[in-house]
Structure 1
């Protein structure tokens, strides 16, 4: 087992090289049981919370192993609305602390990885039957001022008869409000956290199920089972349960306290959120937030250049957390109907080209309406033996703060306080200044990305512009790993699908844990939207034979 002995990163690394991280690549180090613990902390769960916690812990110098039973971000963490946002609608539920915490995190995240996250302006058409204008103005004023803003502009009223966002809407919507939040490629955000964790010495085990976790007075004996291997035992000093929808069942069925009893579990409220994707409904780059008669809201977001993402629903989920989780016909009808209340051209079920669903593990606060259930998180500590930390709830915007709080808690349980470090650190590939023609450039995040993209285009002028832009967004400063030594499309190997070459597939397999066509086409990218079924199958065949 690799011992992480790197010094803690600098507290703020936005414009310096102080947070340059060690790189271990994708070499797989065997887990060999010994008389001592194989690791300090074993993290169960490869979603955004688990990978964020593994990154923070490893960066503080602890030896970390993370195991995930499927692919990274295979479930809830790739099924979000793709937003970095404070949660404007949570103000009506008086969740001011949660909104403030999320608003504080927006700009921290936007600075950390401008290749996969960027500012997004939202237009709210005013429907007087929903909420009076004064209430919306008051809410937006609060939203603008609950946390400090440097990257994102504030809100304002707009005349939709003059604003570009008014053109696709029904003519009765004459007035609207514009405010700021951010967009994120959620599945890639998970992978970047895992890459960072690995770079700091963590071992990332995907497609590896934790079957037994037995606690004794000195630590945890954890049995892990890879899909293509025999069981192995990992000895850990502490255990973090970040299994998301499986967090309660993990405590009830897998973890053993050592006294012959079972761990008490906290009740989670499982809520299914579904989204649909249709061909682009508008050409501008603003998103929409629509109010519905049932007091819910839905978003219509520009997506993957030529599409529009519409969501989300909130439906109680009573099935197994393992799924399969799919959108229901009534959800498709609901999203189409609510979008059609605002768009001049109706959205119909025949317009849907793709859909996705995920189960959100929310803290059960006994709210009657699923959309009113809190999105905040709770970290529950158990120190009756070897340390155990369980993560309940959470949302993607607050994952970094959750991970920081979790690492603080683990340190307290181990009696080893180590300073937090992620507030000013880049995520993997986010160090764009080091890859631009002007390393000292330190502008706003999207200015940095624009400069970086221009440099990549100059260095690799043989790449088609659309492919350059896609890869720059996907890999950021790590693009040189994909293109190292290449001087033309022929040097990238066979074109397995349009715009997707063997070199990139090899990189995704060797460095980003991708194993199947689905991993590549729907999580590491969204290329599946643009490919035919035959082309998608060809990518799957290549991955299975590699």
Structure 2
């Protein structure tokens, strides 16, 4: 039998790839993950940032997907109560669109098919009296309030990678797989560091292709050519505007085109509005919101809110590509959001497991399904384990966030409460490690980011650039200036972070 460096090479550092790496490492497999950019650079940091069942998917009769996603909400909440928390959604009844009885039926199913235990149930609202009705235009009298959850999506990816590394996986960021060939019942892969151009050759027994929008390109690379078309690329864009309401609930709005748009409290001072849904034919790395999408989201929100939203109000926007499995749906809206796994090859030729589609909410279940296929080809190691294991920083009671904040405040009384809350939300109990024995952030470098936090992100979370820190490890970028970016970049350059970057 040929000697292999690794049991599994995972290609792709989004939520699916990092989730698979974590699960596999915890089961005892030797794992290498290669991501050509930073972790969560693509789809996984461009979501609506929800842990949800997908209420509208009931209309497309995707009951299995909705049920699995609903079951995952409370599992994930308990795994990472610092970056995931419950959120109540208000659905105003719009005369002329879906009738009230249909909405009530859908929400009844939503409440009961997913094993909800701790999240509160749906209730009917009188929007003429309830606080959620005040920002809305006159005419919206009845509404429904139901439960889902919020997630800091890019941090979820990073914490899965960190836990994978803590369990023995090796994580290579900014490292592109440029060659992959079948050999001796496994693979030989060449991985290029995109900064130094230095190449490394590895030999995994099995490959998991979780490259998201680039999944077909990896298949073509392994096949040495061909024109593979397994995914339907669908663009989703979001805008962020100054906050439109003072309460802590989110809205879900029906549109006349049968789509829905969310308006969600975001980072304290803002409202997040999204998403769009349209086919995309360009290069995934070039995706950007269009003027048409911006106008669509502004108009959708303005049709419900008293305050009218114009493109000039947009503070920030972002776009991502959903790599949906191509099953011939007539429109982007109708394409399934469920994940599809395809194993290519056999024990004699080497097995590549290709991952198509998926949602952040079901990433853990997707990883378990991938590991079922891995076990089929490599043999079983340790049993399933992720359902009851917390992510780094999440080792506190799911309802204990305020107690964590109080503990951090007592530990570091000189740090402002707003900063304490930000640290608690981003890092959970790991915030104590960041504050260190001196109980402080250290010298403030930029945008309320201290030396201790920055060094932690470099050493533990693979951060290399100001963008990594300001927009993926945090959303401090919303309040940063060009001077902050320059100061943070200069600090990182001065630290020679390449020699101190995260390992694993």
Structure 2 length-normalised TM: 0.95
Deviation at 1:418, TM superposition (A): 3.5
Residues 1:152 and 2:119 aligned together: yes
Equivalent of residue 508 in structure 1, options 436, 457, 475: 457
Residues 1:473 and 2:425 aligned together: yes
1:326 aligned residue: 288
Using the TM superposition, name which of 375-384 and 70-79 deviates more: 375-384
Q: State the number of aligned residues.
A: 491
2:272 aligned residue: 309
Q: Mark the CA change 1:487 to 1:426 in structure 2 (over 3 Å): closer, same or farther.
A: closer
Q: Distance in 2 between matches of 1:88 and 1:185?
A: 20
2:234 aligned residue: 271
Residue ranges of structure 1 left out of the alignment (5+ in a row): 1-34, 433-441
1:355 aligned residue: 317
Q: Distance in 1 between matches of 2:150 and 2:273?
A: 14
Residues 1:517 and 2:466 aligned together: yes
Q: 3-state SS of the aligned residue for 2:324?
A: strand
Q: How does 1:349-388 map to 2 (within 5 A)?
A: 349-384=311-346, 385-388=349-352
CA contact (8 A) 1:273 1:312 kept: yes
Deviation at 1:415, TM superposition (A): 2.5
1:128 aligned residue: 95
1:545 aligned residue: 494
Q: Mark the CA change 1:426 to 1:264 in structure 2 (over 3 Å): closer, same or farther.
A: farther
CA contact (8 A) 1:86 1:100 kept: yes
Q: Distance in 1 between matches of 2:313 and 2:494?
A: 35
Residues 125-181 of structure 1: per-residue CA shift (max 9 Å, x gap): 111211111010000001101111112111111001111111100011111000000
Residues 1:536 and 2:485 aligned together: yes
Residue ranges of structure 2 left out of the alignment (5+ in a row): 496-504
CA contact (8 A) 2:408 2:432 kept: no
Q: Distance in 1 between matches of 2:429 and 2:202?
A: 34
1:166 aligned residue: 133
Q: Distance in 1 between matches of 2:459 and 2:308?
A: 45
Q: 3-state SS of the aligned residue for 2:422?
A: helix
CA RMSD of aligned residues (A): 1.4
Please identify runs of 4+ aligned residues in structure 1 that moved more than 6 A: none
Residues 1:281 and 2:281 aligned together: no
2:395 aligned residue: 431
2:368 aligned residue: 404
Q: How does 1:434-513 map to 2 (within 5 A)?
A: 442=397, 445=398, 447-488=399-440, 492-513=441-462
Q: Distance in 1 between matches of 2:9 and 2:114?
A: 34
CA contact (8 A) 1:515 1:544 kept: no
Q: Distance in 2 between matches of 1:177 and 1:416?
A: 46
Q: Distance in 2 between matches of 1:280 and 1:537?
A: 28
Q: How does 1:17-56 map to 2 (within 5 A)?
A: 36-56=3-23
Q: 3-state SS of the aligned residue for 2:59?
A: helix
Q: Distance in 1 between matches of 2:185 and 2:143?
A: 60
Q: 3-state SS of the aligned residue for 1:423?
A: helix
Q: Distance in 2 between matches of 1:454 and 1:85?
A: 29
Residues 318-362 of structure 1: per-residue CA shift (max 9 Å, x gap): 0012x2211000000000000000000101111100000001100
CA contact (8 A) 1:251 1:263 kept: no
Q: How does 1:60-71 map to 2 (within 5 A)?
A: 60-71=27-38
CA contact (8 A) 1:379 1:390 kept: yes
Residues 1:419 and 2:383 aligned together: yes
